[in-house]
């Protein structure tokens, strides 16, 4: 990154990803290098290219110019020294966990994790002899109490799904770092525009770029961003063995989406706050989960950790339980009944029967997910059109 780039705010930097000159002029769009193989003039240069994550390009599993542009852009936004782009968010999570853990290691992970991450950790326990202790997101003392001599990694998410609890990143990270434990934060829900976990001490930041970074429901991609070169290099060697590398076209689509991230995130946050307030006043709704509302249990923490906005996901509980949730999710017309989040379209989902169906009734209750809980991933449509849609669907719930 040049000295000039360093003076720019993230909103300006993401519109100007570094692009090399071609034949005397500079393309304004990031070029797509759809070649998986690169040739060399000398054997020494090829040998050198195998050395590490920043080397010359020779084979896409190791690196590609378009993929590198995405890695540099997101590393810059997160305040990291480098990144590895992967074929999905799960690709990034698996790459990091498998690179840093071995049998007999202990992991401390948040209880309210994305289902795929939860399942991956359970798999590591069952088949690889890794030990996992789950903790809440608000009490650093719980992390300290869970520490063991073999604890290697703390895995957190900035905002939990679907009840939007905000994690005390500074507190939990400090507790783990005091014991030399590597700290990993999945920042998918917050994006680097709302929260930069490296500023709070995180070693690695994960993104499902499938969500806000890509932003248009047309690409599956992920990223692991590193606070320093040591972990980057270590994970990169495993990344190329695992082969979860991002495809150049996926990287190109993500870079294209990334350029409007600031506008989209502003709109997602404003509309989510607006809808959350209106839902809270609706008679069919018994509770609204959105950190921007003063009644949310983490509102104070959210104001400190996410001062620019509280994200585009909210959830609410319907008095009529499962049947009301079914009627609501099947009655929306502008919003769509679909999983995922972070795209331009508004989506609704019943977590208990879909994204969180693997949880027992007791686990659902502990996570604050009821039979009548509905998640809304707020898009960028006009807020009045969205409210009209939610209101007519609420009337049928």
Q: What angle do CA 17, 255, 261 make, to 5 degrees?
A: 90
CA nearest to 207, candidates 226, 181, 229: 226
Measured from the CB atom, is 53 or 311 closer to ligand PLP?
Answer: 311
Active-site residue flag, 211: yes
* Min CB(285)–ligand PLP separation in Å: 24
Catalytic residue among 152, 211, 267, 375: 211
Clarify whether 61 is annotated catalytic: yes
Residues near ligand PLP, by CB under 6 A: 88-90, 114, 116, 157, 161, 186, 188-189, 208, 210, 220, 222, 340
User: Up-side HSE of residue 92: CA atoms within 13 Å toward CB?
Assistant: 29
**Residue 208 C-beta: closest distance to ligand PLP, Å:** 3
Q: How far is the CB of 53 from ligand PLP (least distance, A)?
A: 21
Residue of 105, 168, 186, 247 marked catalytic: 186
Q: Rg of the Cα trace of the chain?
A: 21
Largest Cα separation within the chain, whole Å, is 73
Q: Please report how close the Cβ of residue 305 comes to ligand PLP at its closest, in angstroms.
A: 16
Q: How far is the CB of 313 from ligand PLP (least distance, A)?
A: 9
Residue 176 tokens, joined:
């783990």
Token output for 393: 């669907």
Note if 290 is an active site residue: no
Residue partners of 19: CB distance under 8 A and separation at least 6: 26, 27, 28, 29, 30, 31, 69
Q: Where are the alpha helices (DSSP H) in the chain?
A: 3-7, 10-13, 43-49, 65-78, 89-100, 115-128, 140-146, 169-177, 191-194, 229-242, 248-258, 261-280, 299-305, 321-331, 361-366, 383-395
Query: 188 or 331, CB closer to ligand PLP?
Result: 188
Closer to ligand PLP at the Cβ: 75 or 206? 206
Q: How many CB atoms lie within 10 A of CB 173?
A: 25
Helix (H, G, I), strand (E, B) or coil at 19: coil
User: Cα–Cα distance between 128 and 101 in angstroms, integer?
Assistant: 9
Reply yes or no on whether 114 is catalytic: yes
CB of 164 or CB of 331, closer to ligand PLP = 164
Instruction: In angstroms, give the least distance from the CB of 89 to ligand PLP.
Output: 2
Q: Which of 62, 114, 212, 290 is catalytic?
A: 114
Q: Which distant-in-sequence residues (6+ apart) come within 8 Å of 3 by Cβ?
A: none
**What CA–CA distance (Å, rounded) separates 109 from 106?**
10
Nearer residue to ligand PLP within complex by CB, 144 or 354? 354
- C-alpha to C-alpha distance for 159 and 317, rounded to whole angstroms: 18
Of 90 and 285, nearer to ligand PLP (C-beta) is 90
Task: Quote the crossing angle between the two packed helices 89-100 and 229-242, to the nearest 10°.
Answer: 110
The closest residue (CB) to ligand PLP is 89
Q: Measured from the CB of residue 203, what is the shortest distance to ligand PLP in angstroms?
A: 17
Rank residues 45 and 119 by Cβ distance to ligand PLP and give the closer one: 119
Please report how close the Cβ of residue 49 comes to ligand PLP at its closest, in angstroms.
Answer: 29
Residue with smaller CB distance to ligand PLP, 257 or 284: 257
- What HEC string does 265-317 produce? HHHHHHHHHHHHHHHHCCCCEEEEECCCCCCCCCHHHHHHHCCCCCCCEEEEE
Which residues does the annotation mark as catalytic? 61, 114, 186, 211
């Amino acid at each position: 990154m040049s000295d000039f780039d360093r003076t720019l705010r993230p909103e300006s930097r993401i519109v100007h990803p570094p692009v090399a000159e071609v034949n005397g002029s500079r393309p304004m769009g990031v070029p797509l290098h759809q070649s998986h193989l690169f040739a060399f003039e000398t054997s020494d240069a090829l040998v050198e290219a195998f050395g590490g994550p920043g080397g010359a390009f020779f084979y896409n599993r190791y690196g590609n110019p378009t993929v590198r542009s995405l890695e540099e852009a997101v590393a810059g936004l997160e305040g990291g020294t480098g990144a590895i782009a992967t074929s999905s968010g799960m690709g990034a999570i698996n790459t990091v966990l498998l690179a840093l853990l071995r049998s007999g290691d202990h992991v401390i992970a948040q209880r309210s994790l994305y289902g795929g991450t939860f399942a991956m950790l359970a798999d590591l326990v069952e088949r690889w002899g890794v030990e996992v202790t789950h903790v809440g997101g608000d009490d650093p003392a719980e992390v300290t109490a869970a520490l063991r001599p073999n604890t290697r990694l703390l895995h957190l998410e900035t905002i939990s799904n679907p009840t939007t609890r905000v994690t005390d990143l500074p507190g939990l990270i400090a507790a783990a770092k005091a014991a030399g434990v590597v700290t990993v934060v999945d920042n998918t829900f917050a994006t680097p525009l709302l929260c930069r976990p490296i500023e709070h001490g995180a070693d690695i930041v994960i993104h499902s770029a499938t969500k806000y970074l890509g932003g248009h429901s047309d690409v599956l991609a992920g990223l692991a961003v590193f606070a320093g070169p040591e972990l980057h290099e270590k994970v990169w060697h495993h990344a190329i063995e695992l082969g979860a590398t991002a495809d150049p076209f996926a990287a190109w689509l993500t870079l294209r989406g990334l350029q409007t991230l600031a506008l989209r995130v502003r709109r997602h946050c404003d509309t989510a706050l607006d809808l959350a307030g209106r839902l809270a006043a609706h008679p069919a709704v018994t509770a609204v989960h959105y950190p921007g509302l003063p009644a949310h249990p983490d509102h104070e923490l959210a104001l400190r950790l996410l001062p620019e906005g509280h994200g585009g996901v909210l959830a609410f509980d319907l008095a009529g339980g499962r049947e009301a949730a079914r009627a609501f999710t099947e009655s929306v017309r502008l919003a769509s009944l679909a999983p995922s989040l972070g795209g331009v379209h508004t989506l609704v989902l019943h977590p208990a029967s879909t994204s969180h169906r693997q949880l027992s009734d007791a686990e659902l209750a502990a996570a604050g997910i009821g039979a009548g809980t509905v998640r809304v991933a707020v898009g960028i449509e006009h807020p009045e059109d969205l409210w009209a849609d939610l209101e007519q669907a609420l009337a049928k719930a």
